[in-house]
Amino acid sequence: MENLEEILTLVSWLKNSKFTTVLTGAGVSVPSGIPDFRSKNGVYSKWGQEIFDIDLFHQNPDRFYEFAKQELIKMLDVEPNEIHYLLAYLEKLNIVKGVITQNIDNLHKKAGSQKVAEIHGNVRTWSCLKCGKRYDLFNSQHKEFLIDRNFRCECGGVTKPDIVFFGEMLPLNEYSKAENWAKESDVFIAMGTSLVVYPAAQLPIYAKHSGAKLCIVNKNETALDDYADLAIHIDLIDFAKEVKRYF
């Protein structure tokens, strides 16, 4: 298998690791059927990057709600893939101590990962900006209520998914957890992310500065490949299946 030598190197790192942290991006969820954002067929090509602009959301929430109906709500029914299950399994083996994700799709938790830092939030929960009421869209009644009312709260207020829009701060608790995990790591793996969005892309740098071995696993080259100890360019499902064979 192509990349086998690099995969075996990473496997040996994992087997000797006392604290492995994994950062995941959109590429991890694409095999589950969730489109990425920046490719030619991605979300931004259809809706524009401004669909997640917080000022534009406040100006015209209904445009975002149309996007939510067509794209975001589908995420709730998507199932994890081999990559999500591999990371949950490595956590059970006490190798992976934390998964930091830029994804908002809840798939790591669905797969069984317990230690997850969702630094861009989660589309599962929505909050009213007027009264603060929260809606859990895994609850079918909550989901149907919001969709039927075009995402207006029972108080009449506008609701917003608990995800980070452009122009908003990252959730402090989640990012602090992620930063601490990065700095504690002896192995840090970035998977399925182009590493161009900050501050998420800063986390591998924190890990490396703290002495961790840095491995980047992605189909295409990333912004930090030259900085990594190991860069594996591979289909992520093929990677997950191959790594699983050794544990």
Which residues are catalytic, by number?
120
**Residue in the block written with tokens 């989640």:** 174
Q: Which two tokens stand for residue 186?
A: 């002896």
101 contact partners, CB below 8 Å, separation of at least 6: 23, 24, 25, 28, 108, 116, 117, 118, 119, 120
Structure tokens at 205: 């740098």
Beta strands in the chain (DSSP E): 20-24, 96-101, 116-118, 121-128, 134-136, 159-163, 187-191, 213-218, 230-233
Residue 83 in tokens: 């990559």
Closest Cα partner for 237 from 81, 112, 44? 81
> How far is Cα 81 from Cα 237, in angstroms, rounded to an integer?
8
d(CA 82, CA 225): 24
Count of other CB atoms within 10 angstroms of residue 111? 22
Task: Give the Å distances, CA to CA, from 217 to 90, 94, 104.
Answer: 16, 21, 20
What is the spatial distance between Cα 11 and Cα 195, in angstroms, rounded to a whole number?
22
